[in-house]
Structure 1
Amino acid sequence: MNEKAGATKGLKKALGFPSLFIITIGIVVSQTSVVSILQGAGMGGGAFFIAIFIAFLIALCYISTYSELALMMPKAGSISTYTAVSIGHFPAIIAALSAYVAPAIFGSLGELLLLQNVVDTISPDTFTHVALVVVWIFTLLNILGIDLFASVQSIVSFIMLVTLLVIGFAGLSTTTNEGTAPAEIWQQLTYPDSAVFTLILVALWPFIAFEMVCDFIEEAKNPAKHIPKAMFSACIVLMFAYSLVAFVAMKSVAADQLAGSAIPHLVVGKMIFGDAGKMVVLILSITTTCGFISTGFATTPRLLYGMAHHKQLPPIFMRLHPKWRTPWFGILFLATIITIALLLIKNNTDGLLMLVISGASCYLLAYIITHIDVMVLRKRYPNYPRPFTSPWFPLLQIIGISGMVYAFINNSPSPELRAEVFINVALFIGLSGVFAFCWVKFKMKKGLFQPEAIEQAIKD
């Protein structure tokens, strides 16, 4: 079978609810997620639970919005498809590139360097190229097919979730209480100060990217039922898991240690398990990073695949492997960029977490745009079939937009870091905007804000 025939045949439908649920967990939970929760716990104390709950509510809003859009237009392009139909290809390309591709690259770098940092701390000068090995193992696994990816991802994500819960429940029963007393944690929760609201983005980062499971919609066996269920279920499970780990960390470790450590999960693990904690945290680090990298290599190339189908990117991104029917070019493209960046940066972690926060801020742009997409499409296509309808319209969209804007404006307790984040976000959006303008104007020869007909978008 030639490559063109493979592309015509399309992506393979192989994913049921268990696979989609565990893939969603793997997409969202990462080392940077765990670090954000632990550092936030150190900075906010008991009041940080308020930030976690607000982030949880914001996540429910965007999950509801994405569920409606994804099932209304069940294509792998995700946000690029929805936005092209609602407000045109120019904002669609900006949203997809600046809010998904760029954060995927910087988030992956942060994950890989954190893993290398943990490995080097536990066993110095032993495994100096762990990051590169992880990149190319999961590049190969993703090219070899969605069935193999789902099987490996299920194992990795299950171990990761169990390890996270083991740390949480073991911490509840431990007699080590060198952190904040539970009574004081409760006092901080019931009488918070306004500073906790500057930590919403810190709490939101661990709840970002549930919607990326929508990029598997063409490979889901029953997307109308299982895609929303996977996202909502994963969000609820992780809200409890994050809250448990945050509480255990608060009572086990001094607040300044949590807030000031680059690898607070290692500090918590050693405090709870002693020397054995190194192995527990190593397992958590390996599984979270592998899960993040694996799902990133699965979802981002499918986003690029969908964009290419809408002629928003060069057609080479549409190519599927003739045997395994995976978007091999997009996978290799992403792996190559990350590999080059790793070789240039080496083990220098300075500024990477700040770039991750910048990436999170870019995500907020995408969520705001998708909320707008739903409101526009409700008016333009009021009678179009919607297997899932976002409830209480437009209340959730208004809450979601308001929460995202507030989190973006107050993205950090530090004014200096906040300014750096604004600059990085402006850079991401600016570069994406230049490409989008030139591509839409001169290659696609369309109006910048000319909507695509929904029938054409689904046909593509």
Structure 2
Amino acid sequence: MQDAVSKPAAVSAAAHPPRHAARGAGLGLKSLMAVAVGLVVSQGVMVLMLQGVGIAGAAFIVPLAIAWVLALCYAASFGELSLMIPRAGSLSSYTEVALGHFLAIISVFSGYVVVAMFALSAELLLVNYLLGVLYPAIEGTQYIAFAILAVFTLLNLLGIDVFAKLQNVLAFAMVVALTLLGVSALSGGFAPHQFGASQLAADFNLGDGALTLIALAIWGYVGAEFVCPLVGESRCPERHIPRSMYLGLTLIFVVFALYCLGALFYVPRDVLTSASLPHLEYATAAFGGSGTLLLAVAAITATCSTVNTSLAAVPRMLQGMAEQGQAFPVLGWLTRTTRVPWVAVLFVAGVTGLPLLIWGNDPSTVGLLLVSAAIAWLIAYIIAHVNVIALRIRYPEAERPYRSPFYPLPQWVGIAGMVYAIVHASPAPELTAAVFTNAGVVLGVVSVIAVLWIKLVMRKPLFRPEPLENPA
């Protein structure tokens, strides 16, 4: 095992980023891009993107592009924060210095821990359901979902080197499969188009509610900042952390644009919005019987990649919070040899498996849960943008190995865009109450827990920032 895997704890104690401490670590630009892409491109996102293009048609490319710009804005903020305060706790570490402990705990638990629980469960539920449809002999069983979760839990306990090698392979296979599906659909190389380009152009209409789909489109880009908790394991982080997010998000935009537009040549829009597995309808129409195999590869690799990335990044956020007193100390326990936060890994795996026992194989709640979770995630992004502004005001002379370009434009654009997306988060009027209720309950419960923890355990003020030079 490389020396780098023992560094997160040491790095987390530093107020300023050591420019050379992580240079011998094992994660380079390609590995970090694989992390960014691997978490974002999930099977749930594959479904939501097709639902978006089903609602708005080819005009969905507009909210998809706007969401890409907003994603670049959050990448700029996270890039600056992660190099200024390079700790495993990620957003909680930045927020406690900028805005205090209450918002630090809210940002991570609502934006990452709870969201990861729902998103990972949805991913495993979807792959389980899809394989049951493709191969009826296994329909109704949850063994596949739990097996995938168990395998990647074990592999992440083995250490960061195994994680990186797996992530590169999974991300490459997933991007190739989705790109092949989109390019082949656009070219009509395997099956004649059911709809012509002229018909798609005639249906292009932003008045069909396309701009209200920005929140749904943003869900196609959330999670690229999961590279930030890996700053201690990164090689040349001041260059590779920001670039991996920018390049990863741009690659995602291109792949999703091809994927979504290709679907319109083969599948009616009402089918894309109503089908439980619209990506299966898409692959079958574009490739016939062979499309099911391609989709199975894309779906399984997307799910495995998402699970792998989350089990690597979220536990390290919890580890950082434990080291700063914002969570139970046991979540910071590390294995002796690989220096992995093993209790945190098992905790994330456990809360992921619990909803699978409750939901079974019903995919009908996936879209609702993902959009509800997106609201919590967008709030976390707003906090990140506010962090950058607050720290620029409080510590204008502090060392910043990476500075957000065009400050403060990306921060204000990001905040405005995220607020707009939250207001229009519901993809359908009948789902509005359920979407905001789910998000509200999550944020309410986390807020109560955060107040009790800070007041009774940490015994600190809720909104007093910690000094940058001496973090708690």
TM-score, length basis structure 2 = 0.93
1:74 counterpart = 2:91: no
Equivalent position of 1:48 in the other structure: 60
- Summarize deviations over 1:141-172 as a string: whole Å, max 9, x none: 00001001111111111111111111112112
1:287 counterpart = 2:298: no
Whether the aligned pair in 2 keeps the contact of 1:143 and 1:331 (CA below 8 Å) is: yes
Identify if the C-alpha distance between structure 1 residues 177 and 392 changes in structure 2 by more than 3 Å, giving closer, same or farther.
Answer: same
Report the identity percentage. Answer: 38
Equivalent position of 2:336 in the other structure: 322
Give how far 1:10 is off. 7.2
Identify if the C-alpha distance between structure 1 residues 18 and 6 changes in structure 2 by more than 3 Å, giving closer, same or farther.
Answer: closer
1:379 counterpart = 2:393: yes
Partner letter of residue 396 of structure 2?
A: P
Equivalent position of 2:127 in the other structure: 115
How large is the Cα RMSD of the aligned pairs?
1.7
User: How many angstroms apart in 2 are the aligned matches of 1:51 and 1:117?
Assistant: 29
Equivalent position of 2:237 in the other structure: 223
Moved more, 47-56 or 194-203: 194-203
User: How many angstroms apart in 2 are the aligned matches of 1:177 and 1:383?
Assistant: 61
1:32 counterpart = 2:44: yes
Partner letter of residue 201 of structure 2?
A: W
Give how far 1:261 is off. 1.1
Q: Matched residue of 2:419: which SS?
A: helix
Whether the aligned pair in 1 keeps the contact of 2:41 and 2:220 (CA below 8 Å) is: yes
User: How many angstroms apart in 2 are the aligned matches of 1:177 and 1:449?
Assistant: 60
Partner letter of residue 387 of structure 2?
A: D
1:182 counterpart = 2:197: yes
Whether the aligned pair in 2 keeps the contact of 1:178 and 1:253 (CA below 8 Å) is: no
User: How many angstroms apart in 2 are the aligned matches of 1:75 and 1:9?
Assistant: 9
Equivalent position of 1:421 in the other structure: 435
- Summarize deviations over 1:102-160 as a string: whole Å, max 9, x none: 11000011101110111000101327211000000000000001001111111111111
Give how far 1:344 is off. 2.9
User: How many angstroms apart in 2 are the aligned matches of 1:346 and 1:438?
Assistant: 33
Identify if the C-alpha distance between structure 1 residues 194 and 375 changes in structure 2 by more than 3 Å, giving closer, same or farther.
Answer: farther
User: How many angstroms apart in 2 are the aligned matches of 1:352 and 1:134?
Assistant: 18
Whether the aligned pair in 1 keeps the contact of 2:82 and 2:90 (CA below 8 Å) is: yes
Whether the aligned pair in 1 keeps the contact of 2:75 and 2:245 (CA below 8 Å) is: yes
Corresponding residue to 2:225 among 177, 192, 211: 211
Partner letter of residue 198 of structure 2?
A: A
Identify if the C-alpha distance between structure 1 residues 421 and 258 changes in structure 2 by more than 3 Å, giving closer, same or farther.
Answer: same
Partner letter of residue 228 of structure 1?
A: P
User: How many angstroms apart in 2 are the aligned matches of 1:259 and 1:383?
Assistant: 51
User: How many angstroms apart in 1 are the aligned matches of 2:192 and 2:382?
Assistant: 42
Equivalent position of 1:310 in the other structure: 324
TM-score, length basis structure 1 = 0.95
Structure 1: which 5+ runs fail to align?
none
Give how far 1:421 is off. 1.1
1:90 counterpart = 2:105: no
Corresponding residue to 1:247 among 261, 264, 279: 261
Equivalent position of 1:450 in the other structure: 464
Partner letter of residue 87 of structure 1?
A: L
Equivalent position of 2:15 in the other structure: none
Q: Matched residue of 1:350: which SS?
A: helix
Identify if the C-alpha distance between structure 1 residues 180 and 48 changes in structure 2 by more than 3 Å, giving closer, same or farther.
Answer: farther
1:192 counterpart = 2:199: no
Q: Matched residue of 1:37: which SS?
A: helix
User: How many angstroms apart in 2 are the aligned matches of 1:47 and 1:392?
Assistant: 29
Structure 2: which 5+ runs fail to align?
1-5, 13-21
Q: Matched residue of 2:406: which SS?
A: coil
User: How many angstroms apart in 1 are the aligned matches of 2:427 and 2:293?
Assistant: 33
Partner letter of residue 251 of structure 2?
A: V
Give how far 1:192 is off. 2.0
Give how far 1:309 is off. 1.1
Partner letter of residue 68 of structure 1?
A: E
- Summarize deviations over 1:36-69 as a string: whole Å, max 9, x none: 1111111110110001011101101101111011
